[in-house]
């Protein structure tokens, strides 16, 4: 296994500090101490394993076959925002129409980052391009560790919550949530097992959030705002 440059760890702690500052004002629904992903997720595949070699091969295949459209999609999905689901939800699904929804999902994704961060630091899996110089990412390479994928966690968590709010579009929403994960593989910054772990993490975090009274109160308020803006207010009874 290749040695990971010391600067990798220096940059990781710099990003961790910046993330903590960015999310300092966000509401925490589930404390990181309540969800230890290192005891829930399987460890990442060893870097010299057959699975990692196959995952690198998949990234290199995408690198050869990705179109300009795929690159632009992956680059756009670098933004972790519920409004990336507007291609599914429609043109009324905007920040301007949904101010509380924006705040709510910011809190949700910030909370997810607080939970996944310690797991990244625990496993310290190097990004594909750090491990294998043949990998040429088409998106910005985060300086923190790869496993589990934060984008996959956030994308799938937003999808779980949004699909419960608008079950009429649940299949499309879940598919769009997984796009966040796949786009990180296409972009060359995650192995598939990182993305799969992110989806598992999202499921666990969602289960904890849906047991929290503060989350449920904000969830209902955001749900009402979304359904009203999208014209579903008369169909929400019993959902």
pLDDT in tens, 26-63: 799 999 999 999 999 999 999 999 999 999 999 999 99
Domain presence at residue 32: no
* Average pLDDT over all residues of the chain: 91
Residue-range definition of the domain harbouring residue 227: 6-27+47-235
Q: Mean pLDDT across the stretch 176-192?
A: 98
pLDDT in tens, 116-132: 999 999 999 999 999 99
In 10 A of CB 220, how many CB atoms? 11
Domain presence at residue 35: no
Q: Mean pLDDT across the stretch 219-231?
A: 97
How much is the pLDDT for 3?
52
Burial class (CB in 10 A: 0-12, 13-18, 19+), 144: buried
What's the CA gap between 149 and 193, in Å, rounded? 9
Residues contacting residue 183 through CB under 8 Å, at least 6 positions apart: 73, 74, 77, 139, 151
Domain presence at residue 84: yes
CATH assignment at residue 226:
1.20.144.10
Higher pLDDT, 210 or 16: 210
pLDDT band per the 50, 70, 90 thresholds, residue 8? very low
Domain presence at residue 38: no
Higher pLDDT, 16 or 71: 71
What's the CA gap between 125 and 102, in Å, rounded? 31
- Reply yes or no on whether the pLDDT at 22 is more than 50: no
Share of the chain above pLDDT 90, in %: 86
- Specify the pTM: 0.87
- In the chain, the number of structural domains is 1
Among 22-36, 57-71, 153-167, 212-226, the range scoring the smallest mean pLDDT is 22-36
- Reply yes or no on whether the pLDDT at 19 is more than 50: no
How much is the pLDDT for 234?
56
> Which stretches within 32-98 are classed as H helix?
50-65, 68-76, 86-89
Domain presence at residue 67: yes
Q: Mean pLDDT across the stretch 102-114?
A: 98
Domain presence at residue 39: no
Residues contacting residue 143 through CB under 8 Å, at least 6 positions apart: 8, 11, 12, 14, 15
Domain presence at residue 153: yes
pLDDT in tens, 66-76: 999 999 999 99
Domain presence at residue 57: yes
pLDDT band per the 50, 70, 90 thresholds, residue 6? low
């Amino acid at each position: 296994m290749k040695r990971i440059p010391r600067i990798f760890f220096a940059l990781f702690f710099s990003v961790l500090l910046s993330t903590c500052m960015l999310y300092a004002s966000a509401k925490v629904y589930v404390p990181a101490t309540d969800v230890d992903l290192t005891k829930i997720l399987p460890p990442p595949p060893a870097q010299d394993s057959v699975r990692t070699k196959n995952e690198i091969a998949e990234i290199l295949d995408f690198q050869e076959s990705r179109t300009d459209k795929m690159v632009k999609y992956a680059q756009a999905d670098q933004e972790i925002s519920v409004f990336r689901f507007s291609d599914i939800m429609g043109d009324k699904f905007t920040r301007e129409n949904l101010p509380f929804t924006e705040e709510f999902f910011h809190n949700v994704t910030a909370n997810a980052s607080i939970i996944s961060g310690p797991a990244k630091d625990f496993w310290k899996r190097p990004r594909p391009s750090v491990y294998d110089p043949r990998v040429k990412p088409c998106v910005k390479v985060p300086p923190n560790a790869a496993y589990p994928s934060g984008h996959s966690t956030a994308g799938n968590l937003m999808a779980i919550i949004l699909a419960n709010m608008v079950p009429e579009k649940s299949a499309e929403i879940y598919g769009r949530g997984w796009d966040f994960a796949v786009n990180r593989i296409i972009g060359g910054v995650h192995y598939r097992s990182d993305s799969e772990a992110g989806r598992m993490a999202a499921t666990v975090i969602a289960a904890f959030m849906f047991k929290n009274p503060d989350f449920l109160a904000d969830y209902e308020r955001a749900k009402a705002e979304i359904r009203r803006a999208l014209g579903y207010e008369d169909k929400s009874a019993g959902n």
